[in-house]
Amino acid sequence: MTPARPVPLARRLLTITVSALLALGTTAAAGRTQEATAQAPGTRLTCSVRTVPGRPLTFSPPLGAMARPVTATGAVLLDGCSSPDGSAPRIASGRLDFRGSGRASCTRVTGARGTGRLVWYGAAGRQGRALGTSALTLTPHPGASSVAAGFLSGTVASGMLAHRQVTGHVSAAGTSRCLTRGLPAVEAAGRVSFS
């Protein structure tokens, strides 16, 4: 059964990471459009993103068919970072820890707000000393590709890449049971861009 497409979320265009996450239906065509967006002119940085192995994003209470207040917590790893406009060439990887809350169901989230702390590294796999940090304010953005992406969106409030918008394009595994049994946790992967 093909999951329903999520409904566009709130109005502020913000980005990365972090979550009432659930990818209910990103098509291959949508994926290509999102990839093109991530590489568009004006993009400072783009990275692949995935949940920490063995530590899925969690929802309390679990996501379900009916919208209700939900708190999402988790951590995601950023890898393969590149700077299309050449403004952030030293960043290679990072880790984002976040906490957010909003009114969420299996297919949408509204009124989400949260905070996150992102640590940047100049080597792959978060090796060596950290380059610096970014403090994030997380808020959903219009046209998010999934509930997960809605929580992984916002603005860099301070630190490296300050004042840049963060946009996540994220899909999640094991979401088919959400409507019938609820979803307490999810593993997710995709891309995030800073522009």
pLDDT in tens, 103-138: 888 888 888 889 999 999 999 999 999 999 999 998
Domain ranges of the chain: 1-25+44-175
DSSP code at position 140: -
Give the pLDDT score at 140. 66
Residue 108 main-chain phi, psi, to 5 deg: -160, 165
pLDDT in tens, 132-180: 999 999 886 655 555 666 667 889 999 999 999 998 888 877 677 888 8
Average pLDDT over residues 84-111: 90
- Please state the pTM of the whole predicted model: 0.75
* Residue 1: band (very low, low, confident or very high) from pLDDT cuts 50, 70, 90: very low
Measured CA to CA in angstroms, residue 55 lies from 69, 75, 76, 132, 188 at distances of 22, 8, 9, 24, 10
Residue 159 main-chain phi, psi, to 5 deg: 90, -155
Give the pLDDT score at 13. 26
* pLDDT value at 60 more than 70: yes
* pLDDT value at 15 more than 50: no
Give the pLDDT score at 170. 82
Task: Look up residue 123 and give its amino acid.
Answer: A
Residue 179 main-chain phi, psi, to 5 deg: -65, -30
